[in-house]
């Protein structure tokens, strides 16, 4: 399918990060090396979604008319993904080129809100996040997705967590996770070391039953084949260690997988373990 001409288009600045077609698959799709508009938005709701994809793009590769651009919502991000008993989860948009367009997530909960990986710095987004209440922590899942962490921490007064093995990417982070032991930020949020993609990769688990797992670049969902992907191609450290880290996640009861790159996915009861076993068997 070729690009559909009209007011929205993708130019050659595209870095093929996937942000637009993961957020708005109705209007954007990958070409294999870039992204293209596969349907021009019709009506208010579709136009809003395409404008938010434009706002989320880390390199301003999506263009539209000045008239439409003026309609870009100021309240689009954070965008609600799911409500969990342990906290409401939002996608932050505003992807950063410095983390190759990785997704970042906000958990809103009574114990203090937590940002998972760093969005591109944006004063409007910072005001929106602050309006949700006190930001307790910024958890950096691994060295690739730290983006503008210093600016976020300073502006919102939160402490940062990173694994010691990736800590040179954020040497002034207030907390370092050591070794392979799970760290409970508090009762409802755990940091799980998952070495492999990088030496200091971590996943973040929200809730104990029907949990939300923020996987960084450790695991993501590929909808075309309906499989969980642990990628050897995009493994920067030790793929066998990454598979051992995948194995350790089998006992979890995951309802939502929210990765840094690749698609998010909701799992029915029992599907998580079966999907992980399929991934391990394939590798």
Residue 45: partners with Cβ closer than 8 Å, 6 or more residues away = none
Figure out which of the listed residues 3, 15, 155, 266 binds ligand SF4, where binding follows CB under 6 A: 15
What is the x/- site pattern for ligand SF4, positions 98-137, by CB under 6 A? ---x------------------------------------
Closer of 15 and 266 to ligand SF4 (Cβ): 15
Give burial (CB, 10 Å; 0-12/13-18/19+) of 104.
Answer: buried
Residue labelled with tokens 């840094």: 260
Dig out the tokens for 160 from the structure. Answer: 């940062």
Report, in Å, the least distance between residue 22 CB and ligand SF4. 9
Contact track, ligand SF4, 45-74, x by CB under 6 A: ------------xxx-xx------------
17 binding ligand SF4? (CB under 6 A):
yes
Burial of 18 (0-12, 13-18, 19+ CB in 10 A): buried
Q: How many residues bind ligand SF4 (CB under 6 A)?
A: 15
Spatial contact of 37 and 6, defined as CB atoms under 8 Å apart: yes
Contacts of 247 (CB under 8 A, 6+ apart): 276, 280
The only residue of 6, 7, 16, 169 in contact with ligand SF4, by rule CB under 6 A: 16
Provide the minimum distance between the beta carbon of 123 and ligand SF4 in the complex, in angstroms, as a whole number: 21
Q: Is 183 left (phi over 0), alpha (psi -120 to 50) or beta?
A: beta
Shortest distance in whole angstroms from residue 187 CB to ligand SF4: 36
Give contact residues for ligand SF4 (rule: CB under 6 A). 10, 14-20, 35, 57-59, 61-62, 101
């Amino acid at each position: 399918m070729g690009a559909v001409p009209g007011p929205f288009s993708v130019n050659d600045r595209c870095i093929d990060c996937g942000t637009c077609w993961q957020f708005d698959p109705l209007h954007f799709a990958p070409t294999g090396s870039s992204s293209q508009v596969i349907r021009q938005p019709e009506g208010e709701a579709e136009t809003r979604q395409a404008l938010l994809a434009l706002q989320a793009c880390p390199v301003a590769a999506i263009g539209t008319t000045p008239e439409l651009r003026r309609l870009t919502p100021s309240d689009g991000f954070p965008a609600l993904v799911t409500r969990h008993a342990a906290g409401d989860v939002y996608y932050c948009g505003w992807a950063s080129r410095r983390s190759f367009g990785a997704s970042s997530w906000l958990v809103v909960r009574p114990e203090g809100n937590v940002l998972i990986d760093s969005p591109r710095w944006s004063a409007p987004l910072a005001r929106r996040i602050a309006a949700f209440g006190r930001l307790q922590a910024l958890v950096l899942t691994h060295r690739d997705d730290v983006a503008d962490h210093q600016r976020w921490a300073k502006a919102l007064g939160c402490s940062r967590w990173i694994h010691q093995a990736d800590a040179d990417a954020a040497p002034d982070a207030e907390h370092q996770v050591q070794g392979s032991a799970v760290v409970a930020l508090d009762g409802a949020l755990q940091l799980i070391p998952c070495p492999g993609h990088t030496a200091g990769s971590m996943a973040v688990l929200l809730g104990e039953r029907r949990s939300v797992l923020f996987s960084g670049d450790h695991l993501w969902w590929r909808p075309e084949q309906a499989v969980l992907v642990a990628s050897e191609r995009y493994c920067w450290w030790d793929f066998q260690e990454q598979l051992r880290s995948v194995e350790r996640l089998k006992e979890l009861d995951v309802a939502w997988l929210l990765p840094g790159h690749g698609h998010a996915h909701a799992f029915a009861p029992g599907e998580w373990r079966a999907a992980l076993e399929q991934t391990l068997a394939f590798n």
